[in-house]
Structure formats: C-alpha cells, structure tokens
Structure 1
Amino acid sequence: MSAGQIAALIAAGAFVLLVLLLAIPLLKLGRTLDEATIAIRKAHENADPLLIGANDTITHVNAQLERVDGITANAQAVTGNVSALSSVFTATLGSPLVKTAAFSYGVSKAIRARRKAKAGADGRHSRRGRRGAKS
C-alpha cells in the first residue's frame, strides 16, 4: 500500500465518521418534527369542539344583545314621554305659578310700603333703623 492509498483510506474513514456524527442530529430533528406533527394534529382535532362552543357562545351573546337593544329602545321611548310630559306640565302650571308668585310678591311689597308710609305719617319710627334702642 502506498502512502496515497493510506491517505485515501484515512480520508474515507473520516468522511464516514463525519456522516455518522451528522446523522445523529438529523435523526433527532426528524423525531422532533414527527412530535410537532402529532401535536399539531391533536390541536387540530381538539379545535373543532372549541370552535363549536365559541360559535354557541357568540349566538347566545347576540341574542342577549338583541334583548338589550329592545330594553334600550323602550327606555328611550320612556325618556321621550317623560320629556314631553314635563314640557306639558311646565307649560300648563309653570307660567301661572310664576305669575301668582310675582303677584303675591308685588302685593306684599305694596303692603309693606303702605305700612311704612302710614308709620311715617303717624310720627312713629320703625324699629329697623334704630339699633340698640328700646321702644
């Protein structure tokens, strides 16, 4: 055997060793991919019941939202009715009450002015302007 053949044999042995060392990570990677495929398959199989449950929940929520829409519409109608009623009440009773209050204020002011004028004509002074003095 010549030196070239020995070198070729060593190179071939090193190449086989390299292939064996690279084959181990490739086999492990293959197993990992198989496990990932199995996990994805199981997740896909378990996703159907979850999606069906989510669909049922969304249907129930939509039904409840329709009920809430009805309640909101009724509350809006009641609010409009109360607003109209308060406007009618203000128009019918508010104006006469304001007029009555203004009239009574004017009458009481006129009575006070008349009493004050009458007291001034009699020569008496009102107690209002004199502090600390006894009558």
Structure 2
Amino acid sequence: MSWGEIAGLVAAAAAVVFVALCAVPLLKLGGVMDELRLAVRRLGEGTTPILDELKGTVSTTTQEIARLSEVTEELAKMSRSASTMTEQAANVSTVVSTPLVKTAEVVGKGATAARDVGRRVQEHRPRRRARAVAGELEPGE
C-alpha cells in the first residue's frame, strides 16, 4: 500500500465520519419537522371550531350594532321632539303669562286706585259731616 492509497483510505474514513456526524442532526431535524407537521394539523383542527364560533359572534354583534343604530336614531327623534315641545311650552308660557301679568298689573293698579279713592272719600267725609252739621254745605255739594 502506498501513501496515496493510505491517504485515500483516511479521506474515505473521514468522509464516513463526517456523513455519520451530519446524519444525527438531520435525523433530529426530521423528527422536529414531523412534530411541527402534527402541531400544525392539531392547530388547524382546533382553530376551525374557534373560527366558526367567532363567525357566529361577529354575526350576532353586527345584528346588535344594527339594533343599537336604530335605538340611537329613535333617541335622536325623541330628543328633537322634546326640544320642540320645550320650545312650544315656552311659547305657550309667554302667550299665557303676558296677558296674566298685564291683567295683574291692571288689577293691582285698580286696587291701588280704589284704595286711594276710598281714603279720599274717608278723608272728605268727616269734613263734610262737620260742615253739614255746621250748616255750611250748600245743596248739591
């Protein structure tokens, strides 16, 4: 055996050792890939019911949002109606209160005038009586 043949045998042995050393990680990587494939399959099987349930939840939520939109529209209508009623009540209050206030003013002034007339009459009566008793009043006075 020559040195070339020995070198060839050493190189062949080194190549066999290198292939053996590379085979172990490749076999482990193959096992990891199998586990990953199984995990993805299980994930797909577990996700499908969740997605179906989520689809139903989204559908129900969409219906509730539509109902909420209707309720909001109705509340807006009620708010506008309440605002209109408040304005009308203010108008009615103004229409009713203005004549009542004026009537109260007239009645108050009339009462004051009547009281003033009553005082004047009472003030003049004693003098008139005194003059009548004294004979100073002329007929028709």
> TM-score, normalization: structure 2?
0.66
Q: Report the counterpart of residue 115 of structure 2 in structure 1.
A: none
- CA RMSD between the two structures: 2.4
Higher helix share: 2
Partner Cα distance (1:40, 1:95) in 2 = 79
Match of 1:124 in 2: none
Which runs of no fewer than 5 residues in structure 2 stay unpaired?
113-141
User: Could you list the per-position Cα deviations for residues 84-112 of structure 1 after superposition, in whole angstroms to 9, with x for gaps in the alignment?
Assistant: 011111122136647839x96xx8xxx9x
Partner in structure 2 of residue 25 of structure 1 = 25
Runs of 4+ in 1 over 2 A off after TM superposition: 94-101
- Please give the per-residue CA displacement for 1:60-87, whole angstroms capped at 9, x wherever unaligned: 1122112212211211111011010111
CA distance in structure 2 between the partners assigned to 1:41 and 1:69 by the alignment: 41
| Residue matched to 2:41 | 41
- How do residues 1-135 of structure 1 correspond to structure 2 at under 5 angstroms? 1-94=1-94, 97=97, 100=101
Which shifted more, 63-72 or 46-55?
A: 63-72
Q: Which letter maps to 1:62? A: T
After superposition, the Cα gap between the structure-2 partners of 1:10 and 1:98, relative to the gap in structure 1 and judged at 3 Å, is: farther
Distance 2:75 2:4 in 1: 100
Distance in 1, Cα, partners of 2:89 & 2:12 = 109
1:14-54: per-residue Cα shift (whole Å, max 9, x none)? Answer: 11000100111111111111111111111112211111100
TM-score, structure 1 length as denominator?
0.68
* Count of residue correspondences: 106
Instruction: Look up the match of 1:116.
Output: none
The structure-2 alpha-carbon separation of the partners of 1:98 and 1:25, relative to structure 1 and needing over 3 Å to count, comes to farther
| Partner AA of 2:88 in structure 1 | V
Aligned identity (percent) is 29
The higher radius of gyration belongs to 2
